[in-house]
């Protein structure tokens, strides 16, 4: 094997996914005749039948169910059940999946000549779960509270704060009118928003896909406690309160109008999420049909991964999409300050062995650098050779027509959304000599103060999610 000095990326990660097709919603069905990785490029076992209960499980928990205070990618997707946004990504699988489409908006936003001002019209007649009308002022408040809150919220992104031409503001310390002086977003009428930016930003419409654009009635806001029972603007509403570490149940919102919504089909009657279930139990229950979806969407665990890949009869129920992450060797500069030592570690590394240990072809592709290759979709940031919609999932035999299997590609709800996983804490400082100080980490980028060489990006096995 030819070795060269320097830090060479070793691979782009992919995940093995197990697809659930109905299962808990009804039961019964025939074996799937689908081919391996089919769900990476198309909708599998599609259905338009409504009814039943869609059952999720989650090993950890939501960072927050408040659309204004969440950054986990799976929750940006899940929150669309109860939180509509100004814009959304095209639900059609394939190359068009990164196209922007209106959600609450009438059309895509209109910029001024230098892209420092953007005007958005929202549809008239949109309703909350109590039947009251959604207004532009509610969307303005939702954005303001998520970004200008005096530190009440710590989980969500701050892209609006970075781009809006707005002085310091705190909606929770602003007297009787929380929006007084918040002039970077104008609402000339109940159905128009005008965004004023600090600088020219032609990609601003992508920011408008974020859950923070979901409307929030001022009178309903309970600050950090709002997550217990978010006021719904989508097809489902909270059934009781969200119980952290325990459960979240959703039921239909009778005031949602599907004719105004190009994104959500809303097929199930009810959605249930069990929280704090071990990954091994989730995998087994997916296979048995007790569950429909692993909400985290990172693939089946190691034990199930090996079991499914060795089972020829299971191949038609598996998808192997890329995760969008990069696995790399993380060498901390404060620990190994001598660049020659860092080069020596990577010179000695057997990249082929590392790639095979991670799973070989099903674990990911070898990458040649930390920078992504240009894929078929111009907006993709994956370092991979397959189309950006690819991912591995296990599909259970079709058991019901009450829920339809949807696209399994793990696409962020916003191009600016990072990985749902948080990077690991840096190790404690130690000697700057060469001993074993290199650790393997998973991230889509290296942290400041580190030097890295990527290893194969992870592929995982997971369940094909049902469309809702």
**From CA 147, how far away is CA 170, in angstroms rounded?**
9
Q: Per-residue pLDDT tens for 283-293?
A: 999 999 999 99
State the burial class of residue 1 (Cβ atoms within 10 Å of its Cβ: 0-12, 13-18, 19+).
exposed
445 class by beta-carbon count within 10 Å (0-12 exposed, 13-18 middle, 19+ buried): middle
More confident residue, 297 or 229: 229
Could you tell me the two tokens for 344?
């020596």
Q: What's the pLDDT at 19?
A: 62
Report d(CA 291, CA 301) in Å as an integer. Answer: 16
Question: Does the pLDDT at position 199 exceed 60?
Answer: yes
pTM of the model: 0.74
Could you tell me the two tokens for 183? 């002039």
The pair of structure tokens assigned to 325 is 């992450």
Helices (H), 159-293: 159-163, 204-207, 279-288
Report yes or no: 342 and 8 within 8 Å, Cβ to Cβ. no
Asked if pLDDT for residue 33 goes beyond 60, the answer is no
Q: How far apart are CA 184 and CA 346, in angstroms?
A: 49
Q: Which residue is associated with the tokens 């598996």? A: 318
pLDDT for residue 415: 34
Is the sign of the CA dihedral 404, 465, 394, 295 positive or negative? negative
Q: What is the Cα–Cα distance from 419 to 387, expressed in whole angstroms?
A: 19
Question: What is the per-residue burial (b if ≥16 Cβ within 10 Å, else e) of 231-268?
Answer: bbbbbbbbeeebeeeebbbbbbbebbeeeebebbbbbb
Q: Architecture of domain 67-223 in CATH?
A: 3-Layer(aba) Sandwich (3.40)
Each domain of the chain, given as residue ranges in start order, spans: 12-50+300-467, 67-223
Answer whether 68's CB lies under 8 Å from 158's CB. Answer: no
Model confidence pLDDT, tens digit, residues 332-354:
777 888 888 888 988 898 888 88
């Amino acid at each position: 094997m030819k070795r060269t000095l320097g830090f060479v990326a070793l691979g782009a990660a992919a995940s093995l996914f197990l697809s659930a097709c109905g299962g808990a919603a009804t039961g019964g069905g025939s074996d799937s005749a689908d081919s391996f990785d089919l769900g990476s490029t198309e909708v599998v076992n599609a259905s338009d039948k409504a009814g039943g209960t869609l059952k999720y499980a989650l090993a950890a928990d939501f960072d927050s169910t408040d659309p204004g205070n969440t950054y986990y990618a799976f929750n940006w997707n899940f929150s669309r059940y109860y939180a509509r946004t100004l814009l959304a990504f095209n639900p059609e699988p394939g190359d068009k999946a990164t196209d922007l489409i209106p959600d609450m908006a009438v059309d895509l936003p209109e910029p001024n000549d230098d892209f420092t001002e953007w005007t958005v019209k929202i549809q008239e007649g949109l309703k909350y779960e109590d039947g009251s009308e959604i207004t532009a002022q509610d969307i303005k408040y939702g954005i303001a509270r998520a970004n200008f809150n005096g530190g009440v919220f710590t989980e969500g992104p701050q892209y609006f704060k970075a781009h809006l031409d707005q002085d310091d503001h705190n909606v929770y310390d602003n007297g009787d009118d929380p929006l007084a002086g918040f002039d970077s977003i104008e609402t000339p009428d109940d159905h128009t928003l005008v965004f004023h930016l600090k600088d020219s930003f032609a990609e601003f419409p992508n920011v408008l896909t974020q859950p923070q654009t979901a409307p929030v009635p001022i009178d309903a806001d309970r600050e950090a406690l709002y997550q217990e029972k978010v006021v719904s603007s989508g097809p489902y509403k909270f059934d009781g309160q969200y119980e952290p570490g325990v459960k979240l149940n959703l039921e239909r919102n009778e005031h949602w109008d599907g004719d105004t919504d190009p994104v959500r089909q809303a097929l199930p009657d009810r959605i249930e999420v069990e929280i704090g279930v071990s990954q091994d139990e989730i995998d087994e229950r997916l296979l048995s049909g007790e569950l429909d979806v692993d909400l985290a969407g990172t693939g089946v665990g190691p034990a199930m991964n090996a079991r499914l890949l060795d089972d020829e009869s299971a191949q038609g129920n598996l998808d192997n999409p890329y995760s969008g992450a990069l696995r790399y060797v993380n060498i901390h500069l404060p620990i190994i300050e001598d660049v020659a030592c860092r080069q020596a570690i990577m010179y000695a590394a057997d990249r082929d062995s590392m790639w095979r240990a991670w799973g070989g072809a099903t674990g990911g592709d070898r990458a040649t650098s930390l920078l992504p290759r240009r894929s078929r979709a111009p907006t993709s940031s994956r370092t991979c050779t397959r189309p950006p919609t690819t991912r591995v999932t296990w599909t259970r035999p079709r058991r019901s027509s009450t829920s339809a299997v949807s696209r399994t590609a793990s696409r962020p709800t916003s191009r600016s959304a990072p990985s749902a996983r948080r990077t690991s804490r840096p190790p404690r400082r130690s000697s700057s000599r060469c001993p074993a100080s290199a650790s393997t980490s998973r991230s889509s980028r290296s942290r400041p103060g580190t030097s890295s060489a990527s290893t194969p990006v992870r592929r995982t096995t997971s369940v094909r999610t049902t469309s809702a």
